[in-house]
Amino acid sequence: MSIITKPLIRELRQQFALDWNDIHGAPHWARVRLNGLLIAKTNSARKDVVELFAFLHDSRRQNDGHDPEHGARAATYANQLRDRFFTIDDVGFKLLQFACRHHSESESSSDLDITVQTCWDADRLDLGRVGIKPRPGRLHTEKAIEPLFLKNAYGRSLK
């Protein structure tokens, strides 16, 4: 069963400041979730964290352009939602907060947790929607850089 429930989606939608169907809204979140779950099938990434990341990471954006604090806001918001709309252990929650807080920074570290790598790849694989083709060099997981997987995710991102 998914950790993403209808009450959680209702809460996210009701507070979302942007167009629900635009580039940082629900269709993007759904594709990030799919990308993340497909990658998580092939490694040991935590599926609950991947799903929560997909639906939370852009949920506190205030605009569709330059908004460098939106990841930090998402991490804070996750704290407000925890135990009201989902439950997760402390280790998983720390991973979720880290993944949200830092997802839009360009820094790439080699000792990232596999769950964080999976979250960030899942998001990056959906860049086609804003006219960017994800480069394998900017991806972390083995699955994400597989040519066919990358091509299929890019195809989905253009729809």
Q: Which two tokens stand for residue 20?
A: 């629900």
- Kind and range of the H or E run holding 17: none
Task: Supply angle C-alpha 112, 114, 117, rounded to 5.
Answer: 65
Task: Rule CB under 5 A: say whether 121 interacts with Fe ion.
Answer: no
Measured from the CB of residue 41, what is the shortest distance to Fe ion in angstroms? 21
Instruction: Dump the DSSP string for 67-133.
Output: -TTHHHHHHHHHHHHBTTTB---HHHHHHHHHHHHHTT-----TT--HHHHHHHHHHHTTGGGGT-P
Nearer to Fe ion, 48 or 123 (CB): 123
Nearer to Fe ion, 17 or 91 (CB): 17
- Kind and range of the H or E run holding 35: helix 26-40
Measured from the CB of residue 23, what is the shortest distance to Fe ion in angstroms? 9
Site for Fe ion in 89-118 (CB under 5 A): none
State which of residues 25, 40, 56, 58 lies at the interface with Fe ion (CB under 5 A). 58
Q: Residues touching Fe ion: how many (CB under 5 A)?
A: 2
Size of the chain, expressed as the number of residues it contains: 159
Nearer to Fe ion, 56 or 88 (CB): 56
State which of residues 48, 51, 121, 123 lies at the interface with Fe ion (CB under 5 A). 123
Nearer to Fe ion, 84 or 133 (CB): 133
Provide the binding-site residues for Fe ion, judged by CB under 5 A: 58, 123
